[in-house]
Each structure stands twice: as C-alpha cells, then as structure tokens.
Structure 1
Amino acid sequence: MLVVGALATALVGQFLAGTAVAAPSAETVKTPSPGRIAWEPCESPSGQGTFECATIQVPIDWKRPHGATIGLAINRHLATDPARRIGSLLINPGGPGGSGVDFAYSAPQSFSPELLERFDIVGFDPRGVGRSNPVTCDTDQVNAQAAQLYPDSAASFAALREANRALGESCRDLTGPLVENMDTTSVVRDMDAIRAGLGEKRISYYGVSYGTGIGQQYAERYPHRVRAMTIDSNMDHSLDPWTYQKTETIAMEESYGQFADWCARTASCVLHDRDARALFDSLYKRADAGELVLPGDPPYTFTTQDLQSLAFGYMYDPADWFQFADNLAYLDAPDAAAARSVGKRGEPTEFAYLPVMCQDYDFDVPSYGTLARFERELARRAPVTRLSSLAWTDLTGCQNWPTEVTNPPHRLRVDGTPPILVTNSRYDVATPHSWGSNAARQIGREAVFLTYDGVGHGDYWMSPCARDAIDTYLLTLKAPRNGTHCPAVWPTGPSAQRQSPTGGLVNPLPELLGTGTRGSTM
C-alpha cells in the first residue's frame, strides 16, 4: 500500500525566532494540587499489562487557575516488580497531537522489561488531544487549507492566508476557548499538576520528538522537580524561520542520501543497480510537468508535493526502506495490471497540530516574495529533495493563524536539574541532529549528549546502544559520557513487523503519530 502525504506536517513542533522571555523558576510558579488521583483499573487494547486510568481537572487558562477546567486523560502501567519500584516515569510520544495514553498502553511491547519492572509508566493525552477535550475543526476548512499549502504566486499566498484564518476560526468555533490555550507552556503546567496528583516530589521523564519540547520547558520551569529526564530526537525552540527551514531541508537531503547509499550497497534493494538520487530527480521533474500519472479509476496525477511527502515519511525508520524502494520503482514504471492504491491526504477528524505549533512559533513571513526566496535557496541547498515537506507546511500553515503566539521561541535556560540525557540520530528527518546538539548546548552543564550515527526518528527503537544507555540512565542515574556515539544499524531484509533492533521491541511511533503530527504513517 503506497500512502502519500504521510505527514501533512509531522513528529515531531519546532522552531523560530521570537522575543526571548524569562522562564519563571519553580519557586515563582505554583501548581494547584488536584489532590491524589482517583485511579481505576482499565485494560489496554492489546490486553497486555496491568493498567489503571483516571482523569484530572486542569484550568483551561493557567492565568486563571480558578476558572473553567478541562479533564486530562491519564493512565499508568504498574511496575511489574513493585518491591523495587523507583517511581513514576512520565512519557510523551510527540506530535503535537500524539496520544500519551496510547503510548503508555504500548509499553509492554515497546519498553524494556527493566523499565517495566521498576517504573509506573504514566501516559497522558495533552490538552486538546485524544481523550483530553480534543480540538476539532471543520473538515472542509482543513481540506481547503491543505490545497493551499504550496503557494506559487502572490495571489495564492493571499488565498493561503485566508484559508489559514478560516481554519483557525473554525477550530475556535467548534472547540471553544481551549484553542486559545494550546501552547507547550500550558502543557508543562498540566504535567506538573499530574506530578502533584501522583504524590511525587520529583518525576522521571522520557519524551521523544515534540515530547522533547515538553521536557525541555518542564526542566526550565521546574528544575528541582526532575529526578531524571531523557529527551530523544530533540526540538530546538530557539530557531528563526529561515534556520528552521534550512536545517530541516538539509536533514531531508542527507537522510535521502543515506537511503540511496544503502540501496547501492544492498543487493536485495530493488534499486540496487540504479542511482536512487537520479531516479528521485527524474520522478520530481516528471511530477512537476504533470507527467507522473498512476493507473486507476480515475487515474491519479502524482504531484511533487506527493513525492516529497512520500520520501519524508519513509525516512523515519529504515526498517521500511525495502518498501520505499519498491514504491519508487513502481512510480517510475506503473503497472496497470498491478495498480496500487494511492492515498491522497488524510481527512483529519481531530486537529491539535497547528493550534499548538502556531502558538509556540512565530512563522509569519512578510510576503510571498520572502517565501519564494526561501524556496529557491532551499532547492539550491538540497538539489535532490528540494525541501522538507514537514518544515514547509509548518511555515505555510501558520501564516495569518488567528491565535496569538503565546509561547514564543527562546533559548533554553535550565539551571538546577540533575543530568539530562539528550539523544539524537545523526540523520533525523524530523528533528535534525543540529537541533539536538544546539539544545544540549543551551541546557549547558546539565546536558549529556549522545549521538546515534544512523538514520531515523526515536533513538530508543533505532539503536540497541542508545536504548541501553537510556535504560541505564533512567534506572541508575548513571549517564553515558558526554559526546558518546552509537553505531548505525542498517536493515538487512524486508520485515512485515515494525520491530526495532533493540531486543525485539516494537517501535510504537508510526502508529501513534499520524497525519498532522510530527510523525508518520505508512
């Protein structure tokens, strides 16, 4: 199954420059305690593990702590060795829009037995996501906006701005005042309310992708409430719009280059004896000319945006590269007798991604001319893939968004935490290595930086070496040496199951993070 537009905007939230604001310390930030959480037994979809579920109430607007509230859905997988239980490990899979409840439900298949023994694995659906009062928007407005995300003139840029405002206003009309309070700062306050409800003085945390942004800002605001923190595949909340586009685009170009090189040296790759870079360039030019038409009833004209989104999605996990090579070969020579279903872009029913992104980052550009200059310069720097579909639709999707940028980008100011383990793949298409290294520099002496020298998003499931380092740190507080490198792991054969190389664990991110989040679906 060839699915196109795998991530209208993905795993990932990120980036731009804005006014630096002082981060309040834990001493100046009071978290109203919701009281102890009233847990009740519940069952995971798989039936595996022992779980409890609950709902806690938090203010819609933390500036009005005694005002209207919403319920946050939370769950926990109970430590399998309660006599040796360390405490609670809060987790978040990214997005914005990924369900932390579903992430916790996946724990028996996705986290090591050692973590399951010693921690209660606690997941929560962030405000506006999943079971926590989900943001909903008019589907027609979502689709109208999706058609405008790649403007090619001043007129189409103006139409995009109108579509963005109409979409944002529909989200507000259908969801209510929560839409004005979707920024990560509010999520951090929610997470500390969960900590208080758990009765924990300090928490351990594992966040991946956009979940690293939550972790970074939690450490900034509540440094003395952290026992241990691993942030895996990191955001950089300090970047200006151009640097964000540039770093994401270079990451896409480099990741595709790693795929092309792997295919050239892997005899079982269907493109083994072809130049995969030249093939992509040829497909792009055919799509740009409207000549990449796939058989079907009716036939489907494959666009450059379809091609870029397809490639972007397959860079999340090299385990899918055999299938990606098959799909590129099919695109090059479609077989009417074996026509493949080509998914266009998904129809979201919930839409938390842009309400978070457009309050966390100031993406506005002054004119179509600026956007066009960006596009030309990106294509110069990335002559094969041209741009990052994630970065581009983040940028274009937030133009003229109707809510305020309430959590503007700034450099992290973390002081007083224990060591924070910061990990990043060398070739991460959604959260580039430069973001991780820059986040570690901003955190400063509290940061320990580990690089996985392969391709992919979510080091815990890409690398046995990284997983062992993360487990050891969370369990014992013994961090690896700063600057540690873990060797790349390459796929050796097609696999029907998305198992990571880390002891047979199943990588949960592709199913947790779908269209409209910092993740991918295949």
Structure 2
Amino acid sequence: MLFRGRSAPRRLAARGTAMAVGAATAVVTALAAAPAVDASPSAGGDLRWAPCGDPAKPGAECASLSVPVDWADPDGPRLDLAVARRKATGPGARVGSMVFGPGGPGDSGVETVVRRAGRFSPEVRRRFDVVSFDPRGVGRSNPVVCSDDLLAERPSPRLRSQADFEATLKYNERLRADCRARTGPVFEHLDTAQTVRDLDALRAALGEPKLTFHGSSYGTLIGAQYAETHPGRVRAMVLESVMDHSVATTRAFLRAEAASAQDSFREFVKWCGVAPDCALHGRDVRHVWQGLLARAGRGELADPARPGVSLSSSDLVNKVAFRKFYQADYALLATAIAGMEASEPLSASPTTTAPLPSAVPVFCSDWHLPVRDYREYASLVATMGATAPDLPYLLPIQMVAACLGAPTANPQHRLDVRGAPPILLSNALHDPATGHPWAVSVARQLGRGGVLLTYEGHGHGSVTSGPCMEGAVDGYLVRLAVPPRGTSCPAVPS
C-alpha cells in the first residue's frame, strides 16, 4: 500500500503529517529509527516501565500493554501496544497522566514522547505525566507488514480509463491479501473503534479513574469516539486540528480537503505579495508555480533532495508545498520554489508513483469513501481540480484510490456524546489539512459540551501557537477552566 522498497517484506513504521486524511501527508520512517524499548512486555493490564534506551533523549520510560486483537473476542489473540511516558517535571504539582493521541494515521506516539516532548507546553510537562502509544498497526504495536515488491507496483492514481480503475481494484485486493498474511489477525482490526478500547485499557492501566486526553489531527477521531463511548470517564479532552468524521460522501470529503489546502496556497501567495523576504516577492507566484508543475509533469524537474532524479508533479504538490503549509513555513517554501525554477531542466523522463503513508489500512477501516467506476473517479478528480486548481492530485484522492474495494469497519457518523464534561477544540483558521469548518462542525455536534478555541493564524496544530493559545489550553487541562465560547487568539509571527 504504498511504500518504497524493492524486495523483502517491509515493516511499516511511520510518522504522518496527519493528514486529514486528511489529513493528511505522512513521512515514512524505518522501524529501525524508532526508539528502542527495553521494557519487557507486560502481563494483562500492568505497565512495567523501564528506560526507553535512547541515549540522545534520556528520561523517557517505555512499557507495553497487552490488549485483545479483537475487542469483541477478549479471550482471543492478543497484541502488545508500545507505550511511553515522561514523568511530570514538577512532582509536587502533578495533576495526573495526560494521554496524547497521535495523528497520521501512522504517527508514533512513542516517538513523540521520547524525541519530541517539546511539542507540549512547559506547564503541561510540569503538571502531567505525558503518556502516548503507538496505535495498533503502527510503529512497534504489531505494525502492518507488506511485500516491498508488491508495494513498488502501486498503480498511478492518474486513472485514465475503466480498465485502469479495475486494475487498481485488483491491485488493492492483492495487496490487502499480502499485508493480511504478513501482518496477522490484527490487520482486520485496525479501526479507531478498536483503538478507543485500547485507550480505555491504557487509562485503566495508568490508574486514572478519568482520562485526560490531547488528540492531534487523526488523534481527534480517537478522542471524539472515546467521549462518545465512555463519556463518564473523561476528565478533560483537547481535540487539536479537528477531523470531522461525519462527512458522509466521498465528494464532500475531497472537496473539503481540497478547499483547506487551496486556502493555504492562497495565504502563501498573499504573504509573498507583502513580505520583502519572500524569494518570489514582486513576481507572479502562481505563474512560477504552474511552470514548475508543467516541468514536473514532463519529468524535467530535478528533485532537490535527490540530484539527477526527477520530481513528479504529485510529489511537488504533496511533499514540497503541502508539507511546508503544515508549519506555515512560507519563507522556506518560496526559497525552495525559486531554487527549483532556477535549476537546469532534466531530460524528459517518466516519473515514479510516490509512496503513500503507512497506515492507509487504518484510514480505509475508518472512512467509507466509495467510487462506483472510472467515470465517477474522473468526476471526483475534476471536483478537486476545480476546488484546488494550484494543487493537483492532493494526497486525499490518492488515499481514496488506495482504499477502493476495502471494507470499512468504523464508517462515518455524526457524534452522539451525552454526559461528557466540556471538550475543548483547538484549530487554526488556516489549517491546510483539517480546515476550520471541520472544527466548527464537530463543536456543533458536541452541542453545549463543545467549545471551540480558534487560532487566527496558519498551520496544522495550534495549542502552543503563542501565549494566548497556550494559556487557554493549559488552564483547561490543569484547572478545567473552559474558555468562553467564541474565544479566538491572534496569529503570532512565524
């Protein structure tokens, strides 16, 4: 499904950019890059903590938590979830444990805790043991394993006929069978409804009567469905960069994703028009960008990261532009575009189909996005093209193609949360992957319990975007102080 490689089975451990697959584009990382876990597997619900074994980032502890592969069969096969924590830096001020729900799908929560603990505010780190996990099928939690040779055969998402459509269906079926055989029974139980049960088992193993949770991007699905399933077990919940799992149709999903990405492109063009430090300042940014897309489409654009190798138009959109939108790093994006424009053209050559995020099976298990035939697929591509004319073949349409024919265990539905405490939603006004309208929609579904905190800036992720955002989120997590409805915080310079 979706990955690099030439031979041998591959363990798919990845970090995502969350997509909103939204979210999203994920960055694939080798399993060997994950932090070593020295703790022996735990028995039952116990967590046996031991140093994680990463000398570059000391202080984190790792453990594993045994859970059923299928929560409908609790006495059946089991798997070990990889878990990590950093203890509160102010033990006398400790409130309890806060569990972080990683995004992607495909992000490693263990890696976040071990190597990127700075993504949490100093006050959160002082007052909470920060805990996270690798969701089932990801990282060290029984990762999905597929044949590299088969992954390398992935058809292009640029389908041109009904025959291409049917070939993609057949390829997806072959790949699912291969991944299922290599991964084991958990492959059939990767959906977020199963992960919600894992999360509740983790809460209990931590000894917390109620859950304090921070979910980011795809992790907001985990949190929202936990609140729906276990409303009385929630102490506090922050949903950051919110996915709306009520979007019912394939077209509505793709249109929303395209609109969010195109909004970020417009913001980038606007910034270049007024920022003297933009490498494209005073120029027609769209014209330059369209020129690069044309060169990439002909196989004439060199990949800056791989000299002599051509960069496909899809990779130009998703790996160059879209990734920079996540951090709203407009200056770096403008510099990259200017550099590619000035580069010598390569001899025209075919471009390869880029790998997709590792946890596509998770996404397919959660999103029912059917496409009847090639004619409808072409119509969906046209809808995305009309909505995001500067960003053709965004990752979401590729995810839809990768999920053709896949079963969906946990399809979309409107939230029905009753009896939970107030839930805080945090979203940037200009988020490229989980647009602000999704956060508005989820807040409405939560009714009186949903409180939306808006960051009036850019990027994917917002809880530490300046003192206003950080103070509001910290106050809620630590003291359960809910910001007034309609609260927004000004953008801070990047």
- TM-score, normalised to structure 1, is 0.82
Aligned with 2:60 (options 45, 51, 57): 51
Three-state SS of the structure 1 residue aligned to 2:156 is: coil
1:412-432, Cα deviation, whole Å (9 max, x unpaired)? 111111110001111111111
Distance 1:385 1:373 in 2: 16
The residue that corresponds to 1:470 in the other structure is 473
1:485-509, Cα deviation, whole Å (9 max, x unpaired)? 1112343xxxxxxxxxxxxxxxxxx
The residue that corresponds to 1:187 in the other structure is 195
1:130 to 2:136 alignment:
no
Distance 1:316 1:297 in 2: 22
Q: Tell me how far 1:291 sits from its aligned partner.
A: 5.1
> Percent identity between the aligned chains?
40
Alignment of 1:147-158 (within 5 A): 147-158=155-166
Question: 2:15–2:107: 8 Å Cα contact kept in structure 1?
Answer: no
The residue that corresponds to 1:250 in the other structure is 259
The residue that corresponds to 1:11 in the other structure is 18
Residues 128 and 108 of structure 1: CA distance in aligned 2, closer, same or farther (over 3 Å):
closer
Q: Tell me which moved more, 473-482 or 280-289.
A: 280-289
Aligned with 1:440 (options 422, 440, 443): 443
Alignment of 1:303-314 (within 5 A): 303-309=312-318, 310-314=320-324
Q: Tell me which moved more, 262-271 or 302-311.
A: 302-311
Question: 1:390–1:430: 8 Å Cα contact kept in structure 2?
Answer: no
Size of the aligned set, in residue pairs, is 457
Unaligned runs of 5+ in 2: 5-13, 24-42
1:156-207, Cα deviation, whole Å (9 max, x unpaired)? 2222222222221111011111100000000000010011111111010011
The residue that corresponds to 2:272 in the other structure is 263
1:362 to 2:362 alignment:
no
Question: 2:82–2:134: 8 Å Cα contact kept in structure 1?
Answer: yes
Q: Tell me how far 1:152 sits from its aligned partner.
A: 2.4
Question: 2:46–2:65: 8 Å Cα contact kept in structure 1?
Answer: no
Aligned with 2:47 (options 13, 37, 51): 37
1:217-240, Cα deviation, whole Å (9 max, x unpaired)? 011101111100001001111112
Q: Tell me how far 1:155 sits from its aligned partner.
A: 2.0
Three-state SS of the structure 1 residue aligned to 2:150 is: helix
Aligned with 1:374 (options 373, 377, 380): 380
Three-state SS of the structure 1 residue aligned to 2:63 is: strand
Aligned with 1:398 (options 389, 403, 425): 403
The residue that corresponds to 1:302 in the other structure is 311
Aligned amino acid, residue 210 of structure 1:
Y
Question: 1:139–1:347: 8 Å Cα contact kept in structure 2?
Answer: no
Aligned amino acid, residue 367 of structure 1:
D
Q: Tell me which moved more, 465-474 or 238-247.
A: 465-474
Residues 285 and 9 of structure 1: CA distance in aligned 2, closer, same or farther (over 3 Å):
farther
Question: 2:15–2:104: 8 Å Cα contact kept in structure 1?
Answer: no
Unaligned runs of 5+ in 1: 17-32, 338-342, 492-522
Question: 1:230–1:420: 8 Å Cα contact kept in structure 2?
Answer: yes
Aligned with 1:98 (options 72, 89, 107): 107
Residues 418 and 269 of structure 1: CA distance in aligned 2, closer, same or farther (over 3 Å):
same
Distance 1:8 1:284 in 2: 27
1:309-336, Cα deviation, whole Å (9 max, x unpaired)? 1211211012x32221122112222148
Question: 1:233–1:423: 8 Å Cα contact kept in structure 2?
Answer: yes
The residue that corresponds to 2:233 in the other structure is 225
Q: Tell me how far 1:465 sits from its aligned partner.
A: 2.3
The residue that corresponds to 1:322 in the other structure is 331
Three-state SS of the structure 2 residue aligned to 1:459 is: coil
Three-state SS of the structure 2 residue aligned to 1:228 is: strand
Q: Tell me how far 1:380 sits from its aligned partner.
A: 2.1
Distance 2:171 2:295 in 1: 29
Three-state SS of the structure 1 residue aligned to 2:65 is: strand
Aligned amino acid, residue 217 of structure 2:
S
Question: 2:79–2:142: 8 Å Cα contact kept in structure 1?
Answer: yes
Aligned amino acid, residue 228 of structure 1:
A
Q: Tell me how far 1:8 sits from its aligned partner.
A: 12
Q: Tell me how far 1:265 sits from its aligned partner.
A: 1.1
Q: Higher relative contact order at CA 8 Å, sep ≥6: structure 1 or structure 2? A: 1
The residue that corresponds to 2:414 in the other structure is 411
Distance 2:64 2:242 in 1: 29
The residue that corresponds to 1:209 in the other structure is 217
Question: 1:296–1:336: 8 Å Cα contact kept in structure 2?
Answer: no
Three-state SS of the structure 2 residue aligned to 1:102 is: helix
The residue that corresponds to 1:177 in the other structure is 185
Residues 439 and 298 of structure 1: CA distance in aligned 2, closer, same or farther (over 3 Å):
closer
Q: Tell me how far 1:110 sits from its aligned partner.
A: 2.6
RMSD: 2.7
1:486 to 2:494 alignment:
no
Q: Tell me how far 1:461 sits from its aligned partner.
A: 4.1
1:418-448, Cα deviation, whole Å (9 max, x unpaired)? 1100011111111111111111111111111
Alignment of 1:71-110 (within 5 A): 71-106=80-115, 108-110=117-119
